[in-house]
Structure 1
């Protein structure tokens, strides 16, 4: 059965506040738990007025406290921004507070521009091997194997579920070599999805953490009772994405009817290509597109994401998506 998870960037809507965004995230996490989502991730982004998850480990604790059983974690921590020891201590603390429920997804991008990256860390490592070395160092702290000469407290003996994230072939190769689960960011960078999954599965080496490949891929979902209503809801994220790509990141704007068409043929085509891993529409439309994505990729888990301006509409969208995945799972069980 294909599982389903949620990636939340904790959007700050126009006219809203960080406090309200965090309260909405806690409410959404509890809702996702009721709907059968496997995990709820937040991502590290800095210097963006519309994203409230920069202090990612703090937000993870907030969400875990608001839920009971769903796995909660980072999708991900941008490891170049941090000393591995600090992440070991943070996620060791989370694992102690919420044992068996914490995920630690690791990415090698800074999650911001170079100016913000410099502010995050005293020096920027340009060595291509730095990220793999940092992952190994982090694993060493959790294993408490003595290789670093330092005992991470908390951290030593902790067991968060570690993932490698990526939007290129590098992450697939690293996840395969280290025997870790892999998540591909196809919700905004779909071009290398099929090749990355093929490399990961072909080159996977079993590890103490994982016996066989386990892959997840990002997928945007904007679901509503009708196709037209869903198209309207999706326009908020479309506007935010265009603003980001043109160097003017903003808070999540309210939906605008006809926004995609206003971009012209060329602009709309670019938007459609970048957001090609998406389902926007009624329950039947969303189910069909999710089913096609699962059939195409064979992923073990779909990582859904959706930035919708209205919180109630966002919860309703998740309910429709979860019902669709339940129907897909029923078909998979019958086929087996």
Structure 2
């Protein structure tokens, strides 16, 4: 079975606080480490009351300090929001504090809407299509090769593991051209998954970091001891997706019994499309669904994710997922 990792959006639940969300994320990372997960990533989002990972490098320092061996990283940093030198300094600092454990996934989306992007960047004249050049500049700071004329301190000589993220063919092409590992955001944007993986593998050029393609894909898992409980747990994230798609993002709501059925045909179809790369159920269901996803994609790594309102239930879902992966590996 492929390697298993976890992506956390650090959800702020209704009635909860940012501090609680951050503490729960650190606790979840330690739990994932104890279960044998390979990495624990958080993502950069801005202006969203239900997500507490906006200051991504700071959150990663918090999580890395609460763990010992699991790789910790950004999935990802939205590079058009930042000067590459700033990211080199931030992740050079993380690498100095936790050597050999830091990942740096890079994307080109704003991580919010255009209004928030303008507030962050002060201008929208920066070109997201300059993303490949920004990646090269960032690599130059880490390599300390003199091409920029600036020594990043911290940053020069740091070795965070660089990834390219994407939900379209653009990221796949960049990752292939630069010889970097590639992560596809199929947990919320599954449409181009198969085509992007094919492009990445076809066009991959070996680099100093990576000799052959290495691909990861996102997959939602809501696991519980009964199918009914798993369906209930999944309804919190389902509500969040509908709220986001209808322009009303908010904190993670408590689960609602029968939520999907209450949406009607159009709402249910929206959920089915967005969350098509998902598993909701018991250990056996999750094992079967994960095995089928890996057969379909042939990915080297699955980045599991899920937003579950109850923290204990979320930890239990991770435990069941790890058991499901071991079950698949035992019969492979």
Same fold (TM over 0.5): yes
Separation in 2, partners of 1:330, 1:179: 32
What are the residue-to-residue correspondences of 1:237-256 with 2, within 5 Å? Answer: 237-256=237-256
Q: Secondary structure at the match of 1:119?
A: helix
Deviations 1:208-260 (A, max 9, x none): 00000000000000000111110000000000110011111000000000100
Query: In the alignment, what sits opposite 1:286?
Result: 286
**Do 1:8 and 1:43's aligned partners in 2 also have CA atoms closer than 8 Å?**
yes
Task: Using structure 2 for the length normalisation, give the TM-score.
Answer: 0.99
Matching of residue 158 in structure 1 with residue 153 in structure 2 = no
Deviations 1:60-98 (A, max 9, x none): 000000000000010000001000000000000000000
Query: In the alignment, what sits opposite 1:87?
Result: 87
Matching of residue 189 in structure 1 with residue 189 in structure 2 = yes
Matching of residue 78 in structure 1 with residue 78 in structure 2 = yes
Query: In the alignment, what sits opposite 2:3?
Result: 3
**Count of equivalent residues:** 332
Query: In the alignment, what sits opposite 1:96?
Result: 96
Deviations 1:300-327 (A, max 9, x none): 0000000000000000000000111122
Shift of 1:154: 0.2
Query: In the alignment, what sits opposite 1:263?
Result: 263
Matching of residue 213 in structure 1 with residue 213 in structure 2 = yes
Separation in 2, partners of 1:265, 1:247: 19
Query: In the alignment, what sits opposite 2:56?
Result: 56
Matching of residue 199 in structure 1 with residue 186 in structure 2 = no
Shift of 1:126: 4.7
Separation in 2, partners of 1:128, 1:6: 27
Shift of 1:40: 0.1
Single out whichever of 127-136 and 225-234 deviates more from structure 2: 127-136
Separation in 1, partners of 2:167, 2:156: 30
Query: In the alignment, what sits opposite 2:132?
Result: 132
Query: In the alignment, what sits opposite 2:230?
Result: 230
**Do 1:12 and 1:252's aligned partners in 2 also have CA atoms closer than 8 Å?**
yes
Query: In the alignment, what sits opposite 2:123?
Result: 123
Separation in 2, partners of 1:128, 1:101: 28
Task: Using structure 1 for the length normalisation, give the TM-score.
Answer: 0.98
Separation in 1, partners of 2:271, 2:14: 22
Shift of 1:266: 1.9
Q: Secondary structure at the match of 1:124?
A: coil
Separation in 2, partners of 1:128, 1:19: 32
Query: In the alignment, what sits opposite 2:298?
Result: 298
Separation in 2, partners of 1:191, 1:6: 21
Query: In the alignment, what sits opposite 1:310?
Result: 310
**Do 1:4 and 1:37's aligned partners in 2 also have CA atoms closer than 8 Å?**
yes
Shift of 1:103: 0.2
**Do 2:108 and 2:128's aligned partners in 1 also have CA atoms closer than 8 Å?**
no
Matching of residue 149 in structure 1 with residue 154 in structure 2 = no
**Do 1:80 and 1:125's aligned partners in 2 also have CA atoms closer than 8 Å?**
no
Separation in 1, partners of 2:208, 2:201: 17
Shift of 1:267: 1.2
Separation in 1, partners of 2:131, 2:178: 12
**Do 2:286 and 2:321's aligned partners in 1 also have CA atoms closer than 8 Å?**
yes
Separation in 2, partners of 1:20, 1:84: 31
Shift of 1:123: 2.6
What are the residue-to-residue correspondences of 1:10-25 with 2, within 5 Å? Answer: 10-25=10-25
Q: Secondary structure at the match of 2:272?
A: helix
Shift of 1:329: 2.4
Query: In the alignment, what sits opposite 1:330?
Result: 330
Tell me how large the CA RMSD over aligned residues is: 0.8
Query: In the alignment, what sits opposite 1:176?
Result: 176
**Do 1:78 and 1:110's aligned partners in 2 also have CA atoms closer than 8 Å?**
yes
Residue segments in structure 1 that go unaligned for 5+ positions in a row: none
Point out 4+ residue stretches in structure 1 off by more than 6 angstroms: none
**Do 1:215 and 1:300's aligned partners in 2 also have CA atoms closer than 8 Å?**
yes
Shift of 1:273: 1.3
Separation in 1, partners of 2:291, 2:2: 10
